[in-house]
Amino acid sequence: MNRALPMLAVAALLVMLLETAPHESVVLPGVLGTVYVAWSELGYRWAQRHGRPAAVGYLLVALALGFAVFDVAGAGVGSTLLLLVVVVQAVVLLPLGWAVGVALLVPFVHVGMPMADGLRQVVATALACAFAFVLAALHLREQQARSELAVANARLHELGAQTEELATMRERTRVARDIHDGLGHHLTVVGMQVQAARAVLASDPDKADRLLGQAEEQARQALRSVRESVTALREPRPAEPLPQQLRTLAAEVAAAGLPTEVDVEGEERRLEGDAQVALYRVAQEGLTNVRKHANAHAATIRLSYLPDVVRLEVSDDGRGVDGAIDRRSGGFGLIGIRERAERLGGSLTVESTPGTGLAVRVELPA
C-alpha cells in the first residue's frame, strides 16, 4: 500500500490537470496539486515514524491542501481521487473510529454547490470514501493477520524445537533407566555368583563351576539386555507375556541364591509395550535392591490385574527400613521406578516395617 498510494496520487494529479486544462489555467491547480502529492508522500512517511500526534497533524494539513486543490480545480474525478488518498492514509495512521471521522469529513468538500448537484456529489463522494475505507481496512487487517501468523509460526517453530529437545532428553533418560535396571540387575547377579564360586572353589570345585556357568549365562543376558535397549531405539521389540517374563526373572534370582515366588492375581490381559517394559524393570530393580540391601531370605513378586489398573509389588522378608520412606529420595533405582510410573500416569508406594521386610508397589492404568 505504501508504494501504491504515491502512484495513485500522481495519477490523480494528472487526471485533475487534464480535466482543468480545457477550461482555465492549470498553473495554480498544478502547483497546489504538486504540493499536495509531495506532502502525501513525505509527510505520510514522517507521520508513520512519529506516532499519533504527528499523524493527526499530517492529516489536518493534507485535508486543508486537498480542499484547496478541490476549490481551485473544481469538482472532478482527479481532485476527488486526491482526497481519497487521505482517507486511505487515515485508516493506516489512526484508530478506525478516528478514520471514520476523516472519511465522513471528506464529502463536505462539496458544501456550497447548488443543492441538487451538491447532494448528488456528496452521496457519490461518500460512497467512494466508504469504498476506499473498507478496502484499506481489509488490507490493514490482512497485514495484521500476516504479522500475527508470522509470530505464531516463529513460536510454533520454537515450541517444535523445544519438543524435540524434550523428546531427546526423555529418550536418553529411558535408555539410562533400561541400562541401569537391566544391566545392573544382571551384573549384580554375576557378582554374587562369582563371589559364591570363589567361596567354594577349594572345597567344592563342581559347585563353583556351576556357579561360574550361571554367572557366564547372566553375562550373556546382560549383553542381550544392552542389545535390546539399542534395538528399542530403532523399533519396538516383541515381548513374551509379562507373567512369563517375571517367572524367568524369578528363576534367575533364585539360582543366584534368593528364593523368589511369582503370584499372579486376576485375569491376565495384554498390556501396552511401555507399561509392560516399565513393570518388568520395576521387578528387576526391586529384586536387585533386595539382594543388595535387604538381607532377606526370600522375595515375592505379586502381579495383580485389577479392573482399571495393573499392580506389581516386590516384597521381601528382610530387615526393612526404620522410619518413613520418602519415595522421592534414594538411589537412582528408586528414582527410576518413580519416573517410569509417573510418566505412564501411575504411582509408586514404598512400605516397610523394621524386621518385617519392605514392599515396593507400582500401579499403572491399563
* Mean of pLDDT over the chain: 83
Alpha carbon of residue 174 to chain centroid: 21
Could you tell me which residue, 1 or 301, shows the higher pLDDT?
301
Rounded to the nearest 5°, which phi and psi values hold at 304? -120, 120
d(CA 216, CA 222): 10
Distance CA 313, CA 18 (A): 96
pLDDT tens string 54-101 = 999 999 999 999 999 988 888 888 888 888 999 998 998 889 888 998
Residue 163, pLDDT score: 82
The mean per-residue pLDDT over the stretch 312-337 comes to 69
Give the pTM: 0.44
Pick the residue with more confidence: 117 or 10?
A: 10
Q: Is the dihedral of CA 223, 229, 233, 238 positive or negative?
A: positive
Q: 294 CB contacts (<8 Å, ≥6 apart)?
A: 316, 318, 319, 320, 357, 358
d(CA 350, CA 326): 8
275 backbone dihedrals φ, ψ, rounded to 5°? -65, -45
pLDDT at 330 over 60: no
What dihedral do alpha carbons 114, 119, 122, 126 form, nearest 10°?
A: 180
Question: Which pLDDT band, with edges at 50, 70 and 90, does 327 fall under?
Answer: very low
Chain centroid to CA 82: how far?
A: 49
